[in-house]
Amino acid sequence: MDILGTNEYSAQSTVDYYDRAKELKSFDDSKAGVKGLIDAGVTKIPKIFIRPPDELSQELRSLHKDLQVPVIDLGGIGKGNRHQEIVREVRAASEKWGFFQVVNHGIPLGVLDKMIDGGRAFHEQDPEVKKGFYTRDHTRRVRYESNYDLFQSRFATWRDSLNISMGYSDHIDADEIPSVCRAIAIEYMKHVTNLGDTLFELLSEALGLKPDHLTALECNKGRNFVCFYYPACPEPELTLGIYNHSDATFLTILLQDQLGGFQVIHENQWVDVQPIAGALLVNIGDLLQIVSNNRFKSINHRVLAKRVGPRISVACFCAGALVPPKLYGPIKELISEENPPMYKDFLASDYIKQFLSKEHGTSGLDYFKL
């Protein structure tokens, strides 16, 4: 099996020209994803995955080894002084970092471990079974794909994904979810939904608002669960697991295994996010930066490709109310003469469409600035 004609179009190819469109189509038609390349025994990554020279030159940006994303212990929520301390920690992390890890969040460690195992089981099952879920139809509630922006991006990234979308409804039929990970996915989604509600209450308080303010705006709706699979890469220095980007949502809650590779920008330097057993990584999305009128920051991040793998993570993206359409903009209680609105009002669905119409990694914040 020679997916993409990898012998002909390898990273070391002496041929200066290659038919990129044909190679992209060949990769997509295989429905095997990046995992299929590894199964085929590639030792050089296909040219569609190689970062352009200007992308590679960005690696001149230094890595800050002494900084670490804040870790917040949620134990003590609702208990007087400790609760207020947690709110202050959430505020500081959301304003300065846009990221924080949470521990003692209430989700059993066994559930987290089983979710990682379930994600692995889906991506490593019989390829013919997995292909039945492969589609580029983003209206499908459950879909398997590799690089949702494959045909728009400057280079493909080294990952596959299983998407379980609850963007337009809080309900999903269990039968729609792949059987190999069905039970744990349903259990995990319930737990993370509850944690998301708690986090939105803390974020509301951190903005000086009533605890239910952000949930009343339905910022916790429009959830999309994505299980990412990053196979070991033979030439990790030439590609990425996920591009440098910010999230076009209100909030992201990420479960990741212990392999590492996730990096965030802080003070114009990359910072490694060190995995903590039992912790979940939380980050502010573009939409929350907008409604907070730039109080909270949506920060760029990426995932490195690595020689070891697979790396597995599960993200819960909260995109807000998509149906029926809901108008969002800077929260009125945060606006004053000294702090005028920085963004115009918009529909969450319009923001997502704007985001999806561009190459992954291109923020839509400027598009909605006043």
Q: Which long-range contacts (CB under 8 A, 24 or more apart) does 131-135 make?
A: 131/31, 131/32, 133/162, 133/178, 134/31, 134/33
Burial level of 289, CB count in 10 A (0-12/13-18/19+)? buried
What is the torsional sign of CA 328, 329, 331, 332? negative
pLDDT at residue 102 in the model? 98
CA 231/CA 366 separation, integer angstroms:
34
Crossing angle, helix 182-206 and helix 109-123, to 10 degrees? 130
- The alpha carbons of the chain give a radius of gyration, in whole angstroms, of 20
96: left (phi over 0), alpha (psi -120 to 50) or beta: alpha
CA 144/CA 31 separation, integer angstroms:
9
Q: Which residues of 162-173 are buried (b: 16+ CB within 10 A; e: fewer)?
A: bbbbbbeeeebe
Q: Which residues of 193-225 are buried (b: 16+ CB within 10 A; e: fewer)?
A: bebbebbbbbbbbbbebeeebbbebbbbbbbbb
pLDDT at residue 17 in the model? 58
Q: Torsion angle of alpha carbons 235, 149, 123, 125, nearest 10°?
A: -110
Q: Do the strands 71-73 and 99-103 form a parallel or antiparallel pair, or are they unpaired? A: parallel
76: left (phi over 0), alpha (psi -120 to 50) or beta: left
Integer CA distances (angstroms), 333 to 197, 210, 286, 336, 354, in order: 21, 11, 19, 8, 27
CA 306 from centroid of its chain's CA atoms: 18
* pTM (two decimals): 0.92
User: Do the beta carbons of residue 28 and residue 20 sit within 8 Å?
Assistant: no
pLDDT at residue 10 in the model? 42
Q: Which residues contact 32 (CB under 8 A, 6 or more apart)?
A: 3, 39, 40, 127, 131
CA 48/CA 46 separation, integer angstroms:
6
Nearest 5°: CA angle at 123, between 117 and 128?
135
- Kindly list the averaged pLDDT for each block of 10 residues, start to end, along the chain of length 370: 42 56 96 97 96 74 80 94 97 98 98 98 97 93 94 93 86 92 97 98 98 97 96 97 93 97 93 96 97 97 96 97 88 96 89 69 78
CA 140/CA 357 separation, integer angstroms:
18
CA 59/CA 366 separation, integer angstroms:
25
Query: Which among 210, 157, 192, 144 has a CA at the least distance from the CA of 316?
Result: 192
pLDDT at residue 11 in the model? 42
Q: Which residues of 111-123 are buried (b: 16+ CB within 10 A; e: fewer)?
A: ebebbbebbbebb
pLDDT at residue 66 in the model? 81
- Domains, in order of start, for the chain: 53-368 (2.60.120.330)
